[in-house]
Amino acid sequence: MEGKRFKRQSSLIFYFLKGSKRFFVASMLFGAFVAILDLVNPRIIAYTVDAVIGEEEVGLPVFLQKLADTAGGAAYFRTHLHVIAFVIAGVALLAVLCRYAFRMFNARGEEKLVRNMRDTLYDHIIHLPVSWHNENQTGDIIQRCTSDVDTVRRFLAEQLTNLVRVVILIVLSIVFMLSINPRLAMIAISLVPVIILYSLFFHNSIGKSFQKVDDMEGRLSAMAQENLTGVRVVRAFGRESYERERFGKANEKYVGMWVKLMQLLSIFWATGDLVSGAQVMLVIAFGVTFCVKGSLTTGELIAFISYNAMLTWPVRSLGRVISEMSKAGISIERIRYIMNSEEEKNPENAVETDMAGDIAFEHVSFSYPLKEAEGSNGVEPEDKGADSEKLVRVLDDVTFKIPAGETVGILGGTGSGKSTLMQLLDRLLEIDEEKGCGGRITIGDTDIKNVNRKYLREHIGMVLQEPYLFSGTIAENIAITDGDEKKDIDMENVKAAAKVAALDEAIEKFTKGYETYVGERGVTLSGGQKQRTAIAQMLLRKPPIMIFDDSLSAVDAETDAKIRSALKEKSKDTTTILIAHRISTLMHADKIIVLDHGRVVQQGTHDEPIARDGLYRRIFELQQPA
Ligand SMILES: Nc1ncnc2c1ncn2[C@@H]1O[C@H](COP(=O)(O)OP(=O)(O)OP(=O)(O)O)[C@@H](O)[C@H]1O
Ligand SMILES: [Mg+2]
């Protein structure tokens, strides 16, 4: 799925309807049958009352009349009333079967549609660049994948499929009413445009309220998600009451919006009831008058009232379809924003270069887009134009070289841009000249822009600053496999890697050892244990380039030294990048790069920067035991 752009909402809807369309078409077809069958019985009853019982000269619709005549006409039915009863029951039964088919096909289509929407969205979202995820709140994304998908489903599966039935019912009811008595029909129809116009009038205000409510819901779930993820911080800083108040306020606002919306809807439905009631009243009043005066038969009156009653529901649902349409329009817009965000993709001529080459950063500059505090979850993708974005520069003209197979240490204060530098090397972030970035990064003279992303990432092992463990056993986390691939885990190698990462001792202490469950639903590992799990994971992969982003920070100095010497043994031909705050971690590196506020201020072996007055020496002196 490469760079799919949905210019219009309809094109996205058709895309989602792939596979479920035929079910909905079948469902609509049966819906049409239901409508037609519903319209037949009142005619038969009118015929029975007038022609069979009342002996008047009234007819049926042409095709039914023909059938009645072949059977022997009104005279025959007068002696065989049960036949009419059976016909009425038969029509009703047929309608039931069609209703069943309508629902069944609808449910099938619905299930396919929802599955397709969720799968497509999920697949798209996990392929979106990290920078996109940086800019969009997780809670908001989840809300778009759940409640917005649900709104669209409801509209397509419940409202739109009903539309055919509704339109047939309205049109045929009107035709039949006109054929029975044009004058009375005009009275019945006169209020229909009023009801429809009224729905349209409400369409706008309801739509706007729904958009507000939806945005608020997104913000609310983002807030809840943030608080649950950071529950420890909230607890540790005693921020419960503050957070509760913040959530409470937002929640109250949300509820207030809902109440307002519901008020609006209540007015809408109640007024609709009033107009429909008035219409029924008019029809009965005039109908009875006509009947008494003799311009309408009793049977016709019965049929007419049935048709008029049939008209009420579809006209009202037409209003409902319209109001659901505005809700669905907003939801599909919110989903379209996700679907129109461009996935990471490789250029046509992406190469797979030899990764055991020198790494060079050449005049690399990088800026992050400045996030708006509120309302950044753009409903309109056009809002997020690159021109209007403010940028914050975090790397400025960074140039250095890492010879193949050597170990380089990067030292720098918090926020100096070290992690950003590594994310650029792994292409989790891109040097995008349109977004205030510049320069290039090469590996063995190949610009990494031209290297296949997957290949690049497979060959760069990165121990993230904040390692993330998936729900699974320790062994699974080290081997990065899921439960189904368990049999493929080579325990010998996993254990060897854990040993190098100085994790084995801790694991032995767990009763289940390597089978201990960790992650969200399991044992919580300490920060240092998590880091070591991540190190073991990387060692198992044996990538030609290894990055340790502050990966020994949560490890005591002694273990730090142990891991480093073990690593040195293991990774003789590997290019290693060590990021650290502790000088002892990287002072033995072949080269040290000192970063300050996004600029390289010093570089060389330990002896060179230490000889000069500068950041490196200041930090070194600070970290010496007194
Ligand atoms: N996703 C992001 N969006 C916007 N700004 C960011 C983002 N990530 C980092 N920054 C900013 O970029 C600057 C550099 O961050 P970076 O994570 O590269 O620092 P660092 O050197 O790794 O710091 P530390 O030693 O604390 O890990 C910081 O000022 C930070 O606020
Ligand atoms: Mg960092």
- Which residue, by CA, sits nearest to atom 18 of ligand 1? 417
Ligand 1 pocket at CB < 6 A: 134, 368, 394, 412, 414-420, 465, 550
Residue 621, pLDDT score: 84
pLDDT band for position 256 (cuts 50, 70, 90): very high
CB 139 within 8 A of CB 221: yes
CA 181 to ligand 1 center in whole angstroms: 78
In CATH terms, the superfamily for domain 359-622 is P-loop containing nucleotide triphosphate hydrolases (3.40.50.300)
| Each residue's pLDDT tens digit, 64-95 | 788 888 888 888 888 888 888 999 999 999 99
- Which residue, by CA, sits nearest to atom 10 of ligand 1? 368
Q: How far is it, in rounded angstroms, from Cα 30 to Cα 33?
A: 5
Q: How far is it, in rounded angstroms, from Cα 148 to Cα 128?
A: 19
CA 368 to ligand 2 center in whole angstroms: 15
Angle between helices 21-47 and 62-71 (to 10 degrees): 60
Q: How far is it, in rounded angstroms, from Cα 139 to Cα 225?
A: 6
Measured from the Cα of 581, ligand 1's closest atom is 25
Residue 573, pLDDT score: 81
- Where do we find the tokens 């329009």? 329
Instruction: Tell me which amino acid residue 513 is.
Output: G
Please check the confidence at residue 58 and state whether its pLDDT lies above 80. Answer: no
CA 395 to ligand 1 center in whole angstroms: 10
CA 363 to ligand 2 center in whole angstroms: 20
**Which of 51-55, 121-125, 164-168, 402-406 bottoms out in mean pLDDT, i.e. has the lowest?**
51-55
Q: Give, rounded to a whole angstrom, the gap between the first and last alpha carbons of the chain.
A: 60
- Where do we find the tokens 């379809």? 321
CA 623 to ligand 1 center in whole angstroms: 23
567: phi > 0 → left, psi -120 to 50 → alpha, else beta; which?
Answer: alpha
Mutate to test the pocket of ligand 1, among 133, 395, 411, 418 (most ligand atoms within 8 A of CB): 418
Mutate to test the pocket of ligand 1, among 130, 372, 420 (most ligand atoms within 8 A of CB): 420
pLDDT band for position 257 (cuts 50, 70, 90): very high
- Which residue, by CA, sits nearest to atom 1 of ligand 1? 134
pLDDT band for position 358 (cuts 50, 70, 90): very high
pLDDT band for position 4 (cuts 50, 70, 90): low
CATH of the domain spanning 9-339: 1.20.1560.10
Residue 60, pLDDT score: 74
Please check the confidence at residue 381 and state whether its pLDDT lies above 50. Answer: no
For the segment 585-590, the average pLDDT, to the nearest whole number, is 84
Measured from the Cα of 598, ligand 1's closest atom is 14
- Which residue, by CA, sits nearest to atom 3 of ligand 1? 368
- Which residue, by CA, sits nearest to atom 13 of ligand 1? 415
Please check the confidence at residue 373 and state whether its pLDDT lies above 80. Answer: no
For the segment 472-485, the average pLDDT, to the nearest whole number, is 74
Mutate to test the pocket of ligand 1, among 368, 425, 582 (most ligand atoms within 8 A of CB): 368
H or E stretch at 599: strand 599-604
For the segment 534-555, the average pLDDT, to the nearest whole number, is 85
CA 575 to ligand 2 center in whole angstroms: 19
Q: How far is it, in rounded angstroms, from Cα 307 to Cα 319?
A: 19
Residue 93, pLDDT score: 95
Q: What is the separation of C-alpha 335 from the centre of its chain, rounded to a whole number of angstroms?
A: 7
- Which residue, by CA, sits nearest to atom 22 of ligand 1? 419
CA 330 to ligand 1 center in whole angstroms: 35
For the segment 606-615, the average pLDDT, to the nearest whole number, is 84
249: phi > 0 → left, psi -120 to 50 → alpha, else beta; which?
Answer: alpha
CA 518 to ligand 1 center in whole angstroms: 28
Please check the confidence at residue 483 and state whether its pLDDT lies above 60. Answer: no
Measured from the Cα of 370, ligand 1's closest atom is 4
Mutate to test the pocket of ligand 1, among 136, 137, 365, 394 (most ligand atoms within 8 A of CB): 394
- The CATH 1.20.1560.10 domain(s) of the chain lie at 9-339
- Of all ligands present, the nearest one to the C-alpha of 410 is 1
pLDDT band for position 484 (cuts 50, 70, 90): low
Sign of CA dihedral 256, 259, 260, 261: positive
Report the length, in residues, of the chain.
Answer: 626
Mean pLDDT in the chain?
Answer: 85
Grouping H, G, I as helix, E, B as strand and the rest as coil, residue 208 is: helix
The alpha carbon torsion through 504, 510, 512, 514 (nearest 10 deg) reads -20
Measured from the Cα of 421, ligand 1's closest atom is 18
Measured from the Cα of 131, ligand 1's closest atom is 1
Q: Could you tell me where the DSSP H helices lie in 366-490? A: 418-425, 453-459, 474-479
The alpha carbon torsion through 50, 53, 54, 60 (nearest 10 deg) reads 20
- The CATH 3.40.50.300 domain(s) of the chain lie at 359-622
Residue 116, pLDDT score: 93
Residue 377, pLDDT score: 43
CA 416 to ligand 1 center in whole angstroms: 7
Please check the confidence at residue 552 and state whether its pLDDT lies above 90. Answer: no
| Each residue's pLDDT tens digit, 322-346 | 767 877 888 899 999 999 998 888 8
CA 394 to ligand 1 center in whole angstroms: 7
| Each residue's pLDDT tens digit, 403-455 | 988 889 999 888 899 999 999 999 999 898 888 889 999 999 899 999 999 89
CB 557 within 8 A of CB 375: no
Measured from the Cα of 369, ligand 1's closest atom is 4
pLDDT band for position 22 (cuts 50, 70, 90): very high
For the segment 189-217, the average pLDDT, to the nearest whole number, is 79
CB 441 within 8 A of CB 362: yes
- Which residue, by CA, sits nearest to atom 25 of ligand 1? 414
Grouping H, G, I as helix, E, B as strand and the rest as coil, residue 376 is: coil
| Each residue's pLDDT tens digit, 524-544 | 788 888 888 998 888 888 889
